[in-house]
Amino acid sequence: MSFGIFFAILGGVLAAAGGGAGSAIGVGRVGRAAAGVVTEDPSKFGKVLILEILPGTQGLYGFLIAFLLLTQIGVMGGSPIQLTTAQGLMYFAACLPMAICGFVSALHQANAAVAGVSIVAKRPEESGKAIIFAAMVETYAVLALLISILAMFNVTANIGA
Amino acid sequence: MAKVEMKYAEIIAPVEEAKNLFDYLQVRSVMEVKKLDEIEGLDYFETGPVVASIEKYLDTAQTALEIIDKYAPAKSGLLDSLKGLPELSESEYLKKSDEADEILGICLKICNAEKEINEDKALISRSQAAIDAVESWLKLDIPMQFKGTDTTKAIIGTLPDEYTAEKLQIALAAFLEGEDRYECEIISHAADRSCVFVLAHNEAYEKVLSALRSLEFAFPSDPTKHAPEVRYGRMRNKIAEAEAEIESDTALIKELAENREDIRFACDWFTIKRDRYTALENTSAGNSIVAFGGYIPADQCETLSKELESRFSAAVEVRDPPDEDDVPVLLRNRPFVAAVEPITEMYALPDKSDIDPNPVMSVFYYILFGLMLSDAGYGLLMAIGCGIAKFKYKVTGRLKKTVDMYFWCGLATVFWGVLFGSFFGDIIPRISAEFFDKTLVVPWAKDPGSIALWFEPVKDPMKLLCYSFLFGLIHLFFGLGCAFVKMWKQGNKSGAIFDCVPVFMLILGIVPMGAGILNVTVPAILTTIGKYLAIAGAVLVVLTAGRSSKNIVGKLGIGLYGLYNTASGWLSDILSYSRLLALGLCTGVIATVVNTLGCIPSNKIVKAIMLIAVFIFGHVVNMAINLIGTYVHTNRLQYVEFFAKFYEGGGRSFTPLKTNTKYYKVKED
């Protein structure tokens, strides 16, 4: 039994955990700011809710990577494929962009979204712009997701599993 | 289509017609009133005090409406908000407006009743507090202020502990050193408080009092003048009276709530009146005439000036707005295009030099939105939901645009979902496999178990990535085309050619090479042509980008910098479209996960029940999250990538004097 499958699963778990932890902190941070606005003006609930959800996508992306990985290496289907340690490490590396960038970008997106919440509080008519500021950060999570997916698929293609 | 041309008009009318004229303009809602420059002999109308008093009435009416909504909530369903406003003809509206004073009287009655209720509530809580304080003294049958007789002095107050008469006497004896010329009585006692009445001989008074003080005795803060029972009864009566008054006031409000529709009308009426007087402030008035200016959409100009001149003895002069003027912007598009206007407005309205981006943007908005959501099931739900709102409830105004937008986005989503074979994820092939033990084979799909008309992105993400870049390239080229048209229309023809054509050549030339990097087979001839096209484009960019600079070094320097900027800018812009793939995969894969989770049990009946529950919950959540993501990222692609190519924004929205109503719509007769 090689460490291959262990490293592959470790990668997927890190992606899910990194993205999920970042999103949890981020959504919580924005939620606190949003709750403050809603105490003053409950009608702004819808607008701040969108801002609160924005840093939550990283958790989703991380989950996506973990799920794809588990499917690719057959753990999900119940018949894991044999991986050498090197192959396992390749999967591990493929997951790293999502794990790292997912965590960091969720935190920073949350910061942008918290600032956006104060836009909604003071100038609700400009709330669209607040969303865009926060969404800018998300680009990098999307790019990381993409690289993780492409790397993973190509690893699978190369080892012929 | 697109941006409506604006004309500027100046109107002069007799002063006695001013009110009716503005009434008429307000119902027509086609003119934005603007102050004229100061004219000798004319002063601006001073309407501030009138506006202030109307605002007070409006406030009263609105408060009254809030009050009746609180005490007698209007029965309304969720879907009622989708229905349009009830309509009033102009004559009905004028007739009803005569009753405004009467309605205002009702509003005042409502407000007063609510004020009384609040006062009574405060009174009740004050009385209740007094009752609580006096309750423990009820057994005392003399006033709490009782001082004593000729030879005795009374001490009435509380001790912070539970005492019986014996216990108190024992406690006092410790301090009194044999003095016994006093009598004590416990009026009431609780765990942490006892009310005591002590009668002491004049000579023993000081000693007894200081002994009591040692036990932390306190005089009551508000002793009664009569026996406590009297105060208790008085307070009970007060509460009963206040409660009766609250009841009658509540009944009155409920009764007056029948005038809800009238009050709503009054709110609208005062809003209209306030807007009119605010607009009147922009007029210059003399002894006999008023004069004012304003912007009118060009196509309304002729009819409006004719109508004004025939109905009133007014003189209208129409001309093109001067260039330096801050001309307001009005967009008018077909519904298909108008649906995305709110998205553009959220960024900024077109400046006067801008072209209207909506016609080009709308098509791409729907396509890109559909590509990112890319699930036929979700698209179908959106289209059906919006279709019901659109055709059955006939929503109007801004809401209609939003509903329209999601309707078209939904249809585009269905389109892409069919191409990619995603309908609530893989629910169709999965049901076939899990419940009927058959791998679904459809004639149009490449693989068994797939229902994709084109291909499944999960099976070949590289292919969709290449197409994402291709769609991005087309989108950006349209942006560049818009830049060309915009500069050409402004008369900057050399700018249009030098700034757009070389970039177009350069990027188009690089595309075959870029495709090669992504392992797409490109005919060699295309790569060769591309190479020369790109070189020519690059040379032209270097030569033309610095044309505004005076000396040759500056021209070359700015030219090279322009080349770098173009290349890096376009590269990052195009890469940004990879989100089309990422978000599309995200929706599809999570939808599949939901279906997988639902199919975990092996018993088919349990599986069916589980699948239904997981299906409904999972897909609702997935759809909601991905809708928000898709909306945000589609906007981003429009704002950051597309608009950056040509759009400046910063225009001011056309805000005509109009009947800005909340509850009724005024229609012309």
pLDDT digit string, tens, across residues B516-557 = 877 778 888 888 999 999 999 999 988 888 888 888 888 888
**Which DSSP string do the residues of B134-163 spell out, in sequence order?**
HHTTTT--S-TT----SSEEEEEEEESS--
Look at residue B250 and tell me if it is in a domain: no
pLDDT of residue B83: 66
Query: B158 φ, ψ to 5°?
Result: -120, 155
What chain A residue is nearest to B633 in terms of C-alpha separation?
A: A135
Range 113-132 of A in CB contact (< 8 A) with B:
128-129, 131-132
Give mean pLDDT, residues B453-474.
90
Distance CA A84, CA B520 (A): 31
Question: Which CATH number fits the domain A4-159, given the four candidates 1.20.120.610, 3.20.20.140, 3.90.580.10, 1.10.10.10?
Answer: 1.20.120.610
- Per-residue pLDDT band for B409 (boundaries 50, 70, 90) equals very high
**pLDDT tens-digit readout, B430-443:** 999 988 888 888 88
- Per-residue pLDDT band for B286 (boundaries 50, 70, 90) equals confident
Instruction: Give A132 to chain B, closest Cα distance, Å.
Output: 7
Please state the domain extents for chain A: 4-159
pLDDT of residue A36: 92
pLDDT > 80? residue B324 = no
On whether both B452 and B393 belong to a single domain, the answer is yes
On whether both B67 and B201 belong to a single domain, the answer is no
pLDDT > 90? residue A80 = no
Give the C-alpha distances (Å, rounded to integers) separating B574 from B398, B508, B516, B629.
33, 12, 16, 19
**pLDDT tens-digit readout, B207-247:** 888 888 888 888 888 888 888 889 999 999 999 999 999 99
Contact of B544 with B498, CB cutoff 8 Å:
yes
On whether both B265 and B307 belong to a single domain, the answer is yes
Distance CA B137, CA B474 (A): 89
- Per-residue pLDDT band for B669 (boundaries 50, 70, 90) equals low
Domains in chain B: how many in total? 3
Query: Which sign does the torsion angle of CA B616, B621, B624, B625 carry?
Result: negative
pLDDT > 80? residue B167 = yes
pLDDT of residue B660: 80
Q: Which two tokens mark B313?
A: 């003895």
On whether both B354 and B294 belong to a single domain, the answer is no
Beta strands B152-159 and B193-201 are: antiparallel
On whether both B302 and B345 belong to a single domain, the answer is no
Give mean pLDDT, residues B25-41.
83
On whether both B350 and B308 belong to a single domain, the answer is no
Q: Which of B219, B252, B280 is the last residue of a domain?
A: B219
Cβ distance of A60 and B576 shorter than 8 Å: no
**What is the predicted ipTM?**
0.76
For chain A, count helices (H), then strands (E): 5, 0
Chain B contact for A49 (CB, 8 A cutoff):
no
pLDDT of residue B81: 63
Number of other CB atoms surrounding residue A43 within 10 Å: 8
All residues of chain A having their beta carbon less than 8 Å from the beta carbon of residue B633 are 135, 138, 142
Q: Which of A23-37, B82-96, B580-594 has the highest mean pLDDT?
A: A23-37
pLDDT of residue B1: 46
B576 closest CB neighbour out of A50, A54, A139: A139
On whether both B298 and B347 belong to a single domain, the answer is no
Give mean pLDDT, residues B622-646.
90
The angle subtended at Cα A17 by Cα A11 and Cα A21, nearest 5°, is 150
Which residue, among B665, B593, B592, B579, has the nearest Cα to B629 in the 3D structure? B579
Distance CA A108, CA A116 (A): 12
Q: Which two tokens mark B169?
A: 């006497």
Residue B174's domain is classified under what CATH number? 3.30.70.2750
pLDDT > 80? residue B38 = no
Number of other CB atoms surrounding residue B580 within 10 Å: 27
Look at residue B667 and tell me if it is in a domain: no
- Per-residue pLDDT band for A1 (boundaries 50, 70, 90) equals low
pLDDT > 60? residue B132 = yes
All residues of chain A having their beta carbon less than 8 Å from the beta carbon of residue B462 are 150, 153
Look at residue B194 and tell me if it is in a domain: yes
pLDDT > 80? residue A117 = yes
On whether both B315 and B352 belong to a single domain, the answer is no
Cβ distance of B640 and A136 shorter than 8 Å: yes
Contact of B290 with B12, CB cutoff 8 Å:
yes
Task: Give the residue, B552 or B615, on which the prediction is more confident.
Answer: B615
pLDDT of residue B80: 65
Element (H, E) at A159: helix A127-159
B461-483 in b/e form (b: 16+ CB < 10 A) is bbbbbbbbbebbbebbbbbbebb
Chain B contact for A146 (CB, 8 A cutoff):
yes
Give mean pLDDT, residues B629-646.
90
| Domain interval for residue B461 | 335-645
Q: Which two tokens mark B567?
A: 């290349």
Q: Which two tokens mark A2?
A: 């090689």
Chain B contact for A61 (CB, 8 A cutoff):
yes
pLDDT > 60? residue B280 = yes
- Per-residue pLDDT band for B113 (boundaries 50, 70, 90) equals very high
Contacts of B424 (CB under 8 A, 6+ apart): B375, B377, B378, B591, B595, B615, B619
